[in-house]
Chains A and B, each alone.
Chain A
Amino acid sequence: MNGTTATVGRDVGRILEALGGLMIVSIVVSLVWREWFGAVAFGASALVPLSVGYGLHRRFAGADSPSRLHGMVVAATGWLLVGVFGSLPFLLVAWGVHLGLPTTIEGTPTLAAFREPLNAVFESTSGFTGTGLTMTDNEEVLPRSLQWWRTFIEWIGGVGVIVLTTAILARPGSGSLTLYESEARSEKIHPSIVSTVRTIWWIFLLFTFVSILALFLAGMPPWDAINHAMTGLATGGFSITDNSIATYDSAAIDAALIPIMLLGSIAFPVHYLILQGDLRNFYADLQTRWVFIYMSLGSALLWAFLYVGPYDSPGAALRYGAFQFVSAATCTGFQTAVDATNVALGAWPAQAQLLVAFGMFVGGAAGSTVGGIKIIRGLTLIKGIRYHVADVFYPDSAVRRLEINGRRLTETEANREFIEATIITALWTTFLVVGTVLLLVVLPAEEYSLANAFFEVASAQGNVGLSAGITGPDSMPAVGKVAFLGHMWIGRLEIIPILVALRTLFNRGGMYP
């Protein structure tokens, strides 16, 4: 069978099958923690995406390989559905406890929040997109099964559900490349895309094990180390403690997490070269070099803002400033600045909050696990503007080249890359502004400032997860939650695939001229 519906249906079906597999794997964790009802909930939840996915996959088995259009629609639809179906374990556990089904899981207000489907979908989408904003009041009291599910979906989402699907349900041919590129990735480690995604997972797994043990050495208990290493490396930021990383109030843990978050913000092909001993890439690769320059400059500036602001000692300003800037700019969202141990992020001076928001806006390297517009686009914009301004000073006949990351681009190539970076940045900014205005409209008047609202929307759209205190099951109105679902979705896929999918939908539904 041919046509967009068939191709999209088949590939979305495969993604849902992979999601069902993740739920099945998670049963082991419930069994280890003797949360039998968690195991049942995972099993029952898995049946839904597995059946739907299998049905779609079988129904459209003979569909054509995806084109670029199909790839974008698959990515947009797949990520949307993964967020929806991924909410099932939250819903089932919360309702099972509420209905008094036989379980050892304790009913708490935090768990009860997930009886509301919108909260469960929010949590799931926040996890898969690697955002980390949460609908829980106190993560510590969640059952281990749900703590794991939140961690696991962030870990998977950091690399990408399509990358996962391609790795485990490998299909040779151009279709895999198209899908891979539609998930905001373009870098290749090997000529074959299937080999590339398998190597990405190989690197990610190895780094995960190293990170878990490094956090354990820094003082975290094993379960905490496993969860925080996974969400830190995936630059997701979900925590299993009430006050995120501030709970430990440990400089050693803060220091161990900074390199883990930085690892997550470096592109996988660079990791591959570094593992082979080519450490030059730390400074030779443009994006990686700028990751370190940008993190250092941002941390230094934030330290200055905080030292003349709410913190008394330069040491405290450095510790919290550096951690929060790296956490924001790598789009992780771990928080050490809370009132319980120092000064909450929402109470920082406006210039400090805006600097952290700027960090979230730019993000880390393309081809890594981070959100934001990505450093390479920022550099392309800067170089492109300089190139176009300098153009005036050259004769019309001059042949000019723009050099980006060791590539010498012709005028046509330079214009194409500049336009792409400009479009993404303009759309990103537009959605950020619209989202901020909408949030201010729906929030109770006088309760939050413009800086707070801007910060929160930038955090959602940059897939960061730092909060100025607006996001929560009760503090955020339903309209705000729906809007944030959109921000997280467009942020993860870098906007264009979503717009293409919507245009396709409207076009085929006769709603588009």
Chain B
Amino acid sequence: MNLGDFPIVGAVYESGADDRIYDGLLLVGPVVILLIAVLVTVFERSLIVELLAAGYVGVFLGYVLYRWMAH
């Protein structure tokens, strides 16, 4: 059994741009947002939380640029 056999993961793999990085970003997106919401609620806004958000946005933008360079 591989990851694509799970219901939500399979649907994401089938619907997207046939790219596992984007698929991965889509799948971890809600987890990152939930984690940030919980951390901000419990500990307030901090550098670590902001780095987490910046990491997600950075990977997305960086990967779009990477795909452009590779195109």
Interface residues of A (CB under 8 A from B): 195, 198-199, 201-202, 205-206, 208-210, 212-214, 216-217, 221-223, 226, 272, 274-279
> Which of chain B's residues 55-71 have a Cβ closer than 8 Å to chain A?
56-57, 60, 64, 66-71
Could you say which of A198, A201, A221, A277 has the most chain B C-beta atoms within 10 Å of its C-beta? Answer: A277
Given A206-B26, A274-B64, A212 and B17 touching (CB < 8 A)?
Answer: no
What is the CA–CA distance of A272 and B32 in the complex, to the nearest angstrom? Answer: 23
Q: Smallest distance from the beta carbon of A311 to chain B beta carbons, Å?
A: 32
Residues of chain A within 8 A of B22, CB atoms compared? 206, 275
Pick the 4 closest A-B CB pairs, nearest first.
A277-B67, A209-B29, A277-B71, A198-B15
A503 CB → nearest B CB, Å: 37
Whether B17 contacts A216 by the Cβ 8 Å rule is no
Greatest chain B CB density within 10 A among A210, A216, A278 is at A216
- Report the bound CA distance from A274 to B65 in whole Å: 10
Choose one: B16, B17, B33, B71; the contact of A226 (CB below 8 Å).
B33
A201: B residues at CB distance < 8 A: 15
Within 8 A of A (CB), among B32-67: 32-33, 36-37, 40-41, 50, 53-54, 56-57, 60, 64, 66-67
Q: Does B30 belong to the interface (CB within 8 Å)?
A: yes
User: In the complex, which residues 1-36 of chain B have their Cβ closer than 8 Å to any Cβ of chain A?
Assistant: 11-12, 14-17, 19, 22, 25-26, 29-30, 32-33, 36
Which chain B residues have a beta carbon within 8 Å of chain A's beta carbons?
11-12, 14-17, 19, 22, 25-26, 29-30, 32-33, 36-37, 40-41, 50, 53-54, 56-57, 60, 64, 66-71
Q: How far is the CA of A500 from the CA of B61 in the complex (A)?
A: 44
Q: Say which residue of A202, A213, A221, A279 sits within 8 Å of B32 (CB atoms).
A: A213
Task: From A195, A206, A222, give the contact of B36 (CB < 8 A).
Answer: A222
Give Cα distance in the complex from A12 to B17, angstroms.
31
Q: B41 to chain A: closest CB distance in Å?
A: 8
Whether B36 and A210, one on each chain, are in contact in the complex, defined by CB atoms closer than 8 angstroms, is no
| CB neighbours of A272 from chain B (8 A) | 17
Residues of B within 8 A of A206 (CB): 16, 22, 25-26, 29, 60
CB contacts (< 8 Å) of A277 on chain B: these are 64, 66-71
Shortest distance between the CB of A275 and any CB in chain B (Å): 5
| Set of chain B residues within 8 Å of A226, measured between Cβ atoms | 33, 37
A217 and B57 form a contact (CB under 8 A): yes
Interface SS, B side:
helix
A50 to chain B, nearest CB (A): 22
Q: Is the CB of B71 within 8 A of A276?
A: yes
Give complex CA distance A222, B70 in Å: 35
CB distance from B63 to the nearest CB of A (A): 9
Q: Are A217 and B50 in contact (CB under 8 A)?
A: yes
Which single residue of chain B is at the shortest CB-CB distance from A195?
B15
Would you list 7 pairs from A and B whose C-beta atoms are within 8 A, ordered by A residue? Answer: A198-B11, A209-B26, A214-B53, A217-B53, A226-B33, A276-B19, A277-B64
Q: Is the CB of B40 within 8 A of A221?
A: yes
Closest to B25 in A: A206
Q: A residues within 8 A CB of B33?
A: 209, 212-213, 222, 226
> B71 touching A205 by the CB < 8 A rule?
no
Assembled-state Cα–Cα distance A272/B18 (Å): 11
A199 CA / B22 CA spacing, docked (Å): 12
CA distance A191 to B20 in the complex (A): 22
Instruction: Please determine whether B25 and A209 come into contact, CB atoms closer than 8 angstroms.
Output: yes
**Residues in chain B near residue A212, CB distance under 8 A:** 33
Whether the Cβ atoms of B70 and A217 lie closer than 8 Å is no
Q: In the complex the two chains form, what is the Cα distance from A106 to B14 in whole Å?
A: 44
Instruction: For residue A253, give the distance in angstroms from its CB to the closest CB of chain B.
Output: 14
Is B71 within 8 A of A199, CB to CB? no
The answer on a CB contact under 8 Å between A275 and B15 is: no
Residue numbers in A under 8 Å from B69 (CB-CB): 277
Residues of B within 8 A of A274 (CB): 64
Q: Are A275 and B29 in contact (CB under 8 A)?
A: no
Inter-chain contact A199/B36, CB cutoff 8 Å: no
Q: Which of B30, B41, B68 contacts A279, CB < 8 Å?
A: B68
A198-B15, A199-B15, A277-B71 known; A210+B60 contact, CB < 8 A: yes
